[in-house]
Amino acid sequence: MGIFNKLLGRQNPAGGGPPPGFFEVPRPPGDGLCSDDQCPCPENLIPRGTGYVFISQDVVNNRRNARSVAEAQVLADRMQQEMSRRLGVPAVFVASFKNVLTPVLMCEQGARLRGIDLAVAAADAKHWWETGLVPLRATPMARK
């Protein structure tokens, strides 16, 4: 994602926003669904308060200076427009950058397949359901 360094380097505007060390991720109005595109499940239902959140290092790097939902949206639009300009195609044909700005809520099958630390991922999911906040650090891998 080196071409976006210029965009990502912007400072967080002063005032408000998520507490230090956390970033905001919108919560669904009801239950969730497994949104891991690498998980073979049929989009398992994830009841409110449960599931596993996977935070990649890419997401951490991208959200460091865009910790609120509003800032992440601005950044996603900028990334899409920049890619559209570089490719010379309308923005509507450029893939969304949501997956590099948002952690993934997933079922236990998906979490086990990725080999992430289940206890940490479940605690992060519970905290996110309660507060809408996700810690600004990558999900650790499970101990072998």
In the chain the beta strands, taken as DSSP E runs, fall at: 22-24, 32-33, 45-46, 52-54, 104-106, 133-135
HSE-CB of 8 using CA atoms within 13 angstroms: 16
Give the nearer residue to Zn ion in terms of CB position, either 66 or 111.
111
Minimum gap (Å) between residue 118 Cβ and Zn ion: 13
Stretch of residues binding Zn ion (CB under 5 A), selected from 11-19, 31-39, 71-79, 91-99:
31-39
116 binds Zn ion (CB under 5 A): no
Q: If binding is defined by CB under 5 A, does position 34 make contact with Zn ion? A: yes
* Token output for 24: 């905001």
Q: Identify which of residues 79 and 120 has a Cβ nearer to Zn ion in the complex.
A: 120
Binding of residue 107 to Zn ion (CB under 5 A):
yes
| Contact status: 121 vs Zn ion (CB under 5 A) | no
Query: In angstroms, what is the C-alpha Rg of the chain?
Result: 16
Task: Please report the sign of the dihedral spanned by the C-alpha atoms of residue 118, residue 119, residue 121, residue 122.
Answer: positive
Rounded to an integer, what distance in angstroms lies between the CA atom of residue 73 and that of residue 76? 5
CB of 98 to Zn ion, least distance (A): 18
Instruction: By CB under 5 A, tell whether 110 contacts Zn ion.
Output: yes
Residues that bind Zn ion (CB under 5 A): 34, 39, 41, 44, 107, 109-110
